Each structure stands twice: as structure tokens, then as C-alpha cells.
Amino acid sequence: MAKIEIKNIRKDFGDFNAVKESSFTIEDGEFFMLLGPSGCGKTTTLRMIAGLELPTSGEIYLDGKEISQLPPSKRDIAFVFQMFALYPHMNVRKNLSYPLVSQGMPRAQVKAKVEEVAGILGILDILNRPVGGLSGGDRQRVALGRAIVRDPKAFMMDEPLGALDAEFREHMSQELRALHDRMGATTVYVTHDQLEAMQMGDKIVVMNNAVVEQFGTPQQIYDKPATMFVADFIGSPSMNFLRFDGALDEGATSVDLNGQTLAVPKQLQGASGKLVFGVRPEHVMLSDSGNYRGEVLATEYLGTTQIITLDTPNGELKARIDSAQLAAIGEKVALNFQAPKITLFDETTGLALRSSLNHEVLAHG
Amino acid sequence: MAEVTLKNLSKKFGKDIGVEDISMTIPDGAFVVLLGPTGAGKTTTLRLISGLEKADSGEIWVDGRNVGKETPAQRDMAMVFQQYSLYPHLTVRDNLAFPLKSPILRAPDDEIERKVSEVAEVLQISHKLDNKATALSGGEMQRVSIGRALVRDPTIYLMDEPLSSLDAKLRTDLRVELKRIHASLGATLLYVTHDQIEAMTMATHVGVLNEGRLVQFGSPRDIYENPNSIYVAGRLGLPRINILPVDVFGNAPSGTTHIGMRPEHVSQGDGLAADVQRIEHLGDQTRLHLIVKGHAITTIANPTVIYEPGTPIKIMPKDPLFFDVNGNRIR
């Protein structure tokens, strides 16, 4: 198994810059997510690790060995595509055996290995079936099996669940994660689905416009976003941005929004101009007392919680509150914010301002 | 707007059941969402009501009138499809005006103009009225196609997964917008989706379909808190409800074979020993995946406890739901 280090890799397609100098490290045994919207460079990054694209510059280390210019076959990395590519004329067993037979592995050993892997995936009973008649889930399991039989150092997966419907996708994502927990193989997984990334990943790299925006654990990225893009992309509903003009000094513990003083984590850098007060919906509380007020525009029931959309002097805001709490459309309510969870941003650069909340996370990424 | 009533509606496609014996009333001004997986009969129900399909048996009543023999045009319903179908060579304004110029409606010009600008206002596309339909983003195109339904004053709006081809962010915005439109127009809406979030957040009434049958009809809260079967319980709620054989925890009314516990109805502290398998930090909540006597259970973490895989905890059901051998609720 393997540790993968990415150092300043860059990829240009002609004049188009697909990935700007990016660096991050994937530790041995991690389930690592590359997350971002379409066209952000996440798949290109994955393909460079697998050797399907060669980087324009930069280095990739697999267990300390530089592999960025090696062909895919010399890297010992298995790739699972979104569209499970199986040989339609072969049965399941032959599909699974193929990568081993082509390596020249003895027949008895192939049989043992295929059965071991089929056991892990729970597909022993369909080994002799043609792949044509299989359900989507079983096809996906066979495709995974073909990657697993080779005992590669790492797995690369490019939206492997993207083609499945929502319900089945949830089921397969749990199965995939449980499989990873049993095998402990380093896995790099590309997705544009933030919930999938949060649910499955040990670490996440968030990419946008060819740039790594942030790199960290799901909790770090959610609680301490480094940029407005990350804050907006992660979480549903996403972080609220209350925009204001103002200035604050280093060491400040509050900001002034429309004449109301709101507490924030201790700021470690001063800033002025167009600023943004970032607050997650679950850190907004509706109450009777308080001077920062908003009007309820809409309520959305979600079972245990509900989402309240409010109109505030600084724009629309969403709050996630207990569904037992009453909120009527048109009602004017006071809003309180959980001060220790607030992130301030500079709107011009889109970057988070350093504070006692996030300085450790921002320092390394 | 109108009240629409379905009586024992059935439709087969060859041997396959489309819908079977569906009866329900869509009250005037209601926002009814039909929820179910692919193949449950949602779209078929919609197409039967609109007249795009003919029922094998059963009746459809609109405001006390049996419309079974009427053409789609006579039924005067407005339909929005999943894939926006706009006239690419026309501007947004002309696309919106088009239904009003139909030979049946033939609205006067000043009324068309008033109606188009009113709907554009509601959908927040006023500034794009003179754009070509092709020069719009996906979300704007879907808003225009919803707008084409809204310019008319039909008996009911029928919408077939209108948001499912849009990205997550836009869906969230349009959800709120549709609810606002419904409230401000006092319109009657029948909306089909497989997305439980849409059903929960927008509906005044949810109808849950399974294999062509309507298995429960009620408010979202009612369906979430009082499902009448395992199937319905599993349709609403994320993470999904935990269904366990009754002998795991015991202590249930006679006839119970399974109990259902929503993740928030697993109390920690006393009870059976559970192994923590995995901890999912989702930001707004942390989910725990547990194994109890060989059964997987998902629950929500207690924010004051620090968990690690292997942390020993004890759990017990809090207000579980009881189900019999057929998956029906025992109350």
C-alpha cells in the first residue's frame, strides 16, 4: 500500500491551463476525495496520478519513488471509471481473471485470487453468469473486483457512482467505504457531490478553476473554510454570506453590521473594505430578543429540522432550526449567531480572514 | 383553480402495471407531491390526469366534472416537464406569450403583455425577457418553462420532476421559489418527484407510491412521524430509518416482527452494547455507524461525546415504530 505525494503538478492542454501548481499528500490507507465542480481539474489531477496524462511540470511520488513520467503499467495503480468497462462477451469469472491471466499468473493462483476477491465483494454466487444480464450494482461490483484482484498499491476512482440513481448510490457509497475499511487500500476518489465527499472521505481536496482551494479533513473544511468558494460549495444549504462595508483591527472580537455589534472569534489580522460575515445555517438562532432582525420568507420542513429563509438588512439568510420551533411567514424575529463558529472573509480576494477559529487550518493549507 | 379527484384509477401497459386503483383528492390550492422510486407510477398518474394517457378504468373529476373523455386541451391543465422544451428561435418573452396565443385561448395583446411581465416578475427573469431562449443558463431555461405554464390560468399545474436536471444549488433556490409561487398564486399543484427533500419541503400533501399503488397520503409531517408501513418509513428521512428484527431489543406488542427507529430515536446511555464502526462528520451533524448484535444501525452522535471507532456505547430505542410480518405498522 502506498503514500502519494503531489508536488507542484501543473497541466496545460495547449493554451488551456487545466491544473495550476498543486501540492498535497495522500497518506497510506487514506480514502482521499478530489472534490469540485465540473471543469475544475479534479479528473485531470486523478489521471495524472494514474499516468493517463503526463503533467506539464511537477512531481508525483508513490512511496517515495518519483513516477510522474512513468507509463500507467509501471505505476501499479488501478483505475475504476464512471462507466464500468467490462468485457460483455465474458462471464464474471473471466472478467475478474483477465487482469491476472494477462500478467501471466498461474491458473490455480488466478482461481484462488478471483474467489477471494469475489468473496470480499459478495459476488461469489454470480461468478459464472454473463455480465450482460447483471444489475447496475453487480456490474459495479465486478468492475471494482477487476481493480482489486491485481493488489495494486492504490485505487483511482473517477465518479464511480455517478451513473447510479440516488437511492442506490447511497447504498453503494456505504458499501464502498466499508470495503475500504476492510482492505485499507489508499484510494483517490473524484466527485462533484459534496455530500458524498463529506460522507466517504478521510481527507478532501477542494478544487476550483484549476486551483486547490483547500485541503483537510471533512470537519476542518466544513467548520473552517479557507475561501468563500469552499464555504459556499460545502454544506447544504451552504454558508450564509452577510455582506458589509467595514474595517476591523487585529485583535477585534466583534464586527459592526448595520449598527449592530456582532461577536466573532478573535481576529488575527486587520481588514477593511468589502467584508463578509459567514455563518452556517445551523449556527443561526431565532429568538425574541436581540437587535439584529430578519423577516421570515419561507419555511421548509425536513423531519427533525427545518430550514427558515429570512430577509435581513444584509441579504437573504437561511437558518436550520428544530422543526418543533414555530416560525410563521411574515414574522419578524431576532437573529443570534454562534460567535465562535463565525468566519469573516475579504470579499475582494475571497479569502477567509485569520482568526482564533481557523488559524491552525489556514497555516498549512 | 380547481379540486381534482381520482377514483379507482388503473392503467396497464401490456402486462405491466402502470398504476392500480388510485383514489385521492387534490384539494383546491393544495401542493400535492407524488413520491416514489422509478417505476412507481408517478409519471403515469400525471399523464392520466392531463389526458396524455387514457385510463383502463376509473374516473378523473375536475371541479365536479368527469373529464375522462375530454382531450388534454379541453381539460385545460398546464404541464411542466423534466426537460425544458423551449422554442430556441424565440425570445424569452415570445416563449412565455406562446401558450396565450393558442387558438383556444387567443388572449388580447394587452392581456398577454400584462401576464408575461407579471410571471417574469414572479420568476425573477424580467431582465432577460428579450434574450433568446438559447442564451440562458440551465436554471433560467427551467424557470422560463415553468413560466410558460404559469402564464395560463389552468385548472391545475402538473409538474414532472422539473428540478431534477438542475444542479444542487439551483434546486435549493427553485424549491423555495416554487413554494413562494404556489403561495402567492393560490395555485393547485401536482408535482412528481423521487427526491424526498423536495417532497418534505414543498408539499402540503404527500402521496407515496409503490408499484403503482398509492400507499399513504398525508401531510409531510404526518408521513414522517406516522408512516403506515416499512416502505413508507424508508421513503422519508435521511439517514434512512433503521429497521431491525424485533428480537434485537425485544419488548414489543404481539405480532411485531420488525421495529423501526429513526436515527434521532436511538437513545444513548443504557441498553445494548454497540460497536462504533465509523464516524461521519458532515458538518451540521455527525453520524455514527454502529453494529448491535450483528445489525447495522445509523444514529446521530451526541455532540458532547468524543467517539472513536471501537468506543463502547449502549443504546436503546426511543419511541420505536412496530411493524408486522407484512411490513405494516402495528399501532
C-alpha B250/C-alpha B233 separation (Å) is 20
To the nearest whole Å, the CA of A219 is away from the closest chain B CA by 6
Stated length of chain A: 365
pLDDT at B310: 82
C-alpha A52/C-alpha A62 separation (Å) is 15
Interface mutation vs chain B, best among A169, A233, A234, A301, most B CBs within 10 Å: A301
pLDDT digits (tens, 9 = 90+) for B257-289: 999 999 999 999 899 999 998 888 888 888 999
CATH class, domain B241-330, is mainly beta
What DSSP state is assigned to residue B98? G
| Domain range annotation of chain A | 4-223, 228-364
pLDDT digits (tens, 9 = 90+) for B185-238: 888 999 999 899 999 999 999 999 999 999 999 999 999 999 999 999 999 998
pLDDT at A265 over 70: yes
To the nearest whole Å, the CA of A288 is away from the closest chain B CA by 24
What mean pLDDT comes out for the span B133-162?
88
Check CB contact under 8 Å for B282 and A301. Answer: no
Q: How much is the ipTM here?
A: 0.75
What mean pLDDT comes out for the span A9-19?
93
pLDDT at A240: 96
A179 interaction partners in chain B (CB closer than 8 Å): none
Which helix (H) or strand (E) is A297 found in, with range?
strand A293-301
**Nearest CB to B236 within list A167, A282, A303:** A303
A199 interaction partners in chain B (CB closer than 8 Å): 280, 282
A228-364 has the same fold as A4-223: no
Mean pLDDT taken over chain B = 91
Task: Single out the residue of B203, B202, B197, B140 nearest to residue B170, CA to CA.
Answer: B140
pLDDT grade, residue B166 (50/70/90)? confident
pLDDT digits (tens, 9 = 90+) for A19-70: 999 999 999 999 999 999 888 999 999 999 999 999 999 999 999 999 999 9
What mean pLDDT comes out for the span B136-153?
86
The grid cell for A9 is 503538478
pLDDT digits (tens, 9 = 90+) for B90-102: 999 999 999 898 8
What mean pLDDT comes out for the span A256-272?
93
| Domain range annotation of chain B | 4-234, 241-330
What DSSP state is assigned to residue A161? T
pLDDT at B172: 84
What mean pLDDT comes out for the span B133-145?
84
Assess A167–B contact: CB distance below 8 Å, yes or no.
yes
Model pTM? 0.83
Which helix (H) or strand (E) is A275 found in, with range?
strand A271-279
CATH class, domain B4-234, is alpha beta
What mean pLDDT comes out for the span A159-182?
81
| Chain B residues touching chain A at CB-CB below 8 Å | 37-38, 168-169, 172, 175-176, 179-180, 183, 194-195, 197, 200-202, 220-221, 224, 236-238, 240, 262, 264, 277-278, 280-284
- What are A64-68's contacts with CB under 8 Å, separation 24+? A64/A3, A68/A9
What DSSP state is assigned to residue B110? H
To the nearest whole Å, the CA of B8 is away from the closest chain A CA by 30
pLDDT at A202 over 70: yes
Instruction: Please provide the CATH number assigned to the domain covering A228-364.
Output: 2.40.50.140
State which residue of chain A sits closest to B264, comparing Cα positions: A304
**Nearest CB to B168 within list A181, A236, A329:** A236
CATH class, domain A4-223, is alpha beta
pLDDT digits (tens, 9 = 90+) for A137-165: 788 889 889 988 988 999 999 988 876 77
pLDDT at A127 over 80: yes
pLDDT grade, residue A364 (50/70/90)? low
CB contact at 8 A, B62 and B155: yes
